[in-house]
Structure 1
Amino acid sequence: MTASYRRSTEPLSPHLLPSLALGQSPVPDGDGRITPLPWRLRREALGRSTPGKSHGQGRRSQHPPAGEAPPLLTVADVMTRDVVSVSTATPVSEIAGALSGKRISAVPVVGVDGSLLGIVSESDLIRRAEIGTQRRRSLWRRVFADASAEASDYVRAHGRKARHVMTLEVVTVTEDMTLAEVADLMERRRLKRLPVVRGNRLVGIVSRSDLVRAVARHRVPSFANPATDDTILRDLSARVEALSPSPRLINVSVHRGNADIAGLVESAAEREAILVAAENTPGIRSIQDRMILRPRSVS
């Protein structure tokens, strides 16, 4: 149920909130073709001792006890383990077909021992002679251009193997990194996916879509022992104090899980943030929004 709020200085009818929880691994072979990774190597790469072990064994609980912060998700919780990868000898045309056919934005380049050597992404394939998008320098630019740079551009535009177009400096992550760290890295480096390594060995890949799927799987936990009004009030008051620049101007009360929030806020954004904080406070059944914008003095 989606919460909606009317802007009013008069007491409003409580808005009920939901209170219950909604209840072929390709890898290149010697000739550069994309082929399934043998199960023995897959099991070693995944760190499994027995093939029959449940994927969820040893995982942390997704439903923490009331009053405790939820556990931080790590790369190991969401990463894709069956990774499409290529060798240095894989044809560029085959790589392009894999990217478009599987709707992925990059493929790691690995050695025969599974070590990560590089990565080929969509950006590595947009300057190609086949489609007439190779770099063209004017005559005067060629005079001052670095000869090695010219040669490198030519190889990347005309080379037919992965080794000709792959990026060697690869940004990687490890299985124990938190999703917050991964999101920061993706945002800062403007990357869509990151290889996951154990040492220098490729064990998976984590992408933006993996993070989105984690959001989709999230469910609000239900608690066996409902929080008391005093517990809810302390929790919500702490959230309001952290969000509002003037928390003393806001009054919060809770009765039988029904929260009443009144007072002055500096902006509509602050008001919305407080309402969202209330929605996320365990134990709250409904919200009365009686906040108003603080009048601005006119000089």
Structure 2
Amino acid sequence: MIAANVMTNTPITVNENTPVFEVVDLLLDLKISGLPVLDSNGIMVGIITEGDLLRRSELGTEIKRPHWQELFLGPDKLAKDYVQSHACYAGAIMTARPLTVSPEAPLDEVIGLMENNNIKRVPVVKADKLVGIITRVDILKALRTILQRDRTPERAHEKNTDDNSMQKEIIDRIHSQPWAPKSNIRINVKNGVVDISGAIWDENIRAALITLIEEVTANGDICDHLVFIEPTTGFCIAKNG
């Protein structure tokens, strides 16, 4: 999946001369937390978010520092803080040159940008023009579409294979996972019920194995006979023991 599959097309934008009041009004009315900012040529030059509007003189929340700290920061940083808390227009408050992606960017790359930079949205740009925006909500909508599709009777029927095929698929998937204790796990499928047995050294591995089986079977018909071996003492603890 790529950015173009997920993004919101023609997102709502503001320009550099949009008054702060109108920006706040849009954020609240649209129930969103950020807006791209365009220049007079329609080129995106920044993004303004709710985070840019928290330190405002109107709220009495502008940054206040002790005098000794102001001496170390210098007038340029203090002047920048003043603009942030007092400016009247979006262009002066926005975050300039935000991170962007192309429409062809893989979705995992987009999510990586969000996670690594602690941001909630990524503008999608092509030839310097804003063509869309991806927010966390857009990603959740894409996930919902896939989950809904997988719940249809047609997709559920696709997973109802015979016991041998199901057993082989589960074993193949276990062998493909770096976390799985391949030589210690035994799988047997009979009448659609999966029996899993063997030894594990971490309860997270049990949860991962059950999750893997549920992905294949699309049901909860699993008999868990895994035995947990306590790493320090070597004691064996059965699930119900």
TM-score (norm 1): 0.70
Contact between 1:258 and 1:284, CA under 8 Å: does it hold in 2? Answer: no
Aligned counterpart for 1:260 among listed residues 195, 203, 206: 195
Question: In 2, distance between residues paired with 1:292 and 1:82?
Answer: 54
Aligned counterpart for 1:100 among listed residues 21, 28, 39: 28
Matches within 5 A, 1:15-164: 73-164=1-92
Which shifted more, 142-151 or 238-247? 238-247
Q: Which SS does the other structure have where 1:261 is aligned?
A: strand
Alpha carbons of structure 1 residues 108 and 283: separation in structure 2 relative to 1, 3 Å? closer
2:166 corresponds to: 232
Question: In 2, distance between residues paired with 1:144 and 1:285?
Answer: 62
State the shift of 1:265 in Å: 1.4
Aligned AA for 1:180?
Answer: D
State the shift of 1:260 in Å: 1.5
Larger proportion of strand: 2
Residues 1:197 and 2:132 aligned together: no
Question: In 1, distance between residues paired with 2:202 and 2:189?
Answer: 24
1:187 corresponds to: 115
For 1:21-69, what per-residue CA distance to the aligned partner results, in whole angstroms no more than 9, with x for missing partners? xxxxxxxxxxxxxxxxxxxxxxxxxxxxxxxxxxxxxxxxxxxxxxxxx
Q: Which SS does the other structure have where 2:95 is aligned?
A: coil
Residues 1:288 and 2:203 aligned together: no
Matches within 5 A, 1:208-227: 208-218=136-146, 219-220=149-150, 221-222=155-156, 227=161
Aligned AA for 2:51?
Answer: S
State the shift of 1:203 in Å: 0.7
Question: In 2, distance between residues paired with 1:119 and 1:257?
Answer: 53
Larger proportion of helix: 2
Residues 1:251 and 2:186 aligned together: yes
Q: Which SS does the other structure have where 1:156 is aligned?
A: helix
TM-score (norm 2): 0.85
Alpha carbons of structure 1 residues 226 and 120: separation in structure 2 relative to 1, 3 Å? same
State the shift of 1:80 in Å: 0.9
Alpha carbons of structure 1 residues 89 and 229: separation in structure 2 relative to 1, 3 Å? same
For 1:181-222, what per-residue CA distance to the aligned partner results, in whole angstroms no more than 9, with x for missing partners? 211111111000111111210011100011111222223234
Unpaired segments ≥5 residues, structure 2 = 235-241
Alpha carbons of structure 1 residues 137 and 227: separation in structure 2 relative to 1, 3 Å? same
For 1:58-98, what per-residue CA distance to the aligned partner results, in whole angstroms no more than 9, with x for missing partners? xxxxxxxxxxxxxxx22211211131100000001110111
Contact between 1:259 and 1:284, CA under 8 Å: does it hold in 2? Answer: no
Aligned AA for 1:263?
Answer: G
Which shifted more, 257-266 or 189-198? 257-266
Unpaired segments ≥5 residues, structure 1 = 1-72
Question: In 2, distance between residues paired with 1:144 and 1:295?
Answer: 55
Report percent identity of matched pairs: 31
Question: In 2, distance between residues paired with 1:78 and 1:244?
Answer: 31
Q: Which SS does the other structure have where 1:281 is aligned?
A: helix
Aligned AA for 2:181?
Answer: S
Aligned AA for 1:287?
Answer: I
Residues 1:175 and 2:103 aligned together: yes
State the shift of 1:244 in Å: 4.5
Aligned counterpart for 1:165 among listed residues 90, 93, 114: 93
Residues 1:277 and 2:205 aligned together: no
